[in-house]
């Protein structure tokens, strides 16, 4: 699955994929292929998606939408830097 950040942002503003497809003027299947990474979003589509989400109240950086998700860092013990396991 690609564009997890974009999917998260869509869920936050409660926008279904079919509505985004309508606003982008692409078919639902074309949007689905882009969301799964089988096709690429154009630069214009990326900018338009950021505008659409911003108009819906999302406060985010447009580049974040299409970046790879970063896993959270492991918590470290205060004294020796050893990962906290089982806590």
Residue 79 lies in a domain: no
Torsion 40-17-50-67 (CA) sign: negative
Per-residue confidence at 48, pLDDT binned at 50, 70, 90?
very high
Residue 48 lies in a domain: yes
Expressed as residue numbers, the domain containing 25 is 4-65
Chain center to CA of 50: 10
The reply to whether the predicted model has a pTM over 0.85 is: no
Per-residue confidence at 3, pLDDT binned at 50, 70, 90?
confident
How many domains does one find in the chain? 1
Q: How many residues does the chain have?
A: 87
Q: Identify the CATH number of the domain in which residue 25 sits.
A: 1.10.260.40
Residue 36 lies in a domain: yes
Per-residue confidence at 17, pLDDT binned at 50, 70, 90?
very high
Measured at the CA of 53, the angle between CA 61 and CA 19, to 5 degrees, comes to 145
Spatial distance between the Cα atoms of 40 and 76, rounded to a whole number of angstroms: 38
Per-residue confidence at 64, pLDDT binned at 50, 70, 90?
confident
Structure tokens at 6: 């974009």
Pick the more confident residue, 3 or 48. 48
């Amino acid at each position: 699955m690609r564009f997890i950040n974009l999917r998260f942002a869509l869920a936050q503003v409660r926008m279904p994929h079919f509505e985004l497809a309508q606003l982008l003027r692409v078919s639902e299947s074309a949007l689905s292929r882009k969301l799964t990474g089988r096709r690429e979003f154009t630069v214009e589509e990326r900018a338009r998606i950021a505008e659409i989400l911003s108009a819906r109240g999302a406060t985010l950086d447009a580049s974040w939408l299409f970046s790879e998700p970063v896993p959270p860092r492991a918590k470290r013990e205060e004294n020796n830097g050893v990962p906290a396991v089982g806590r």
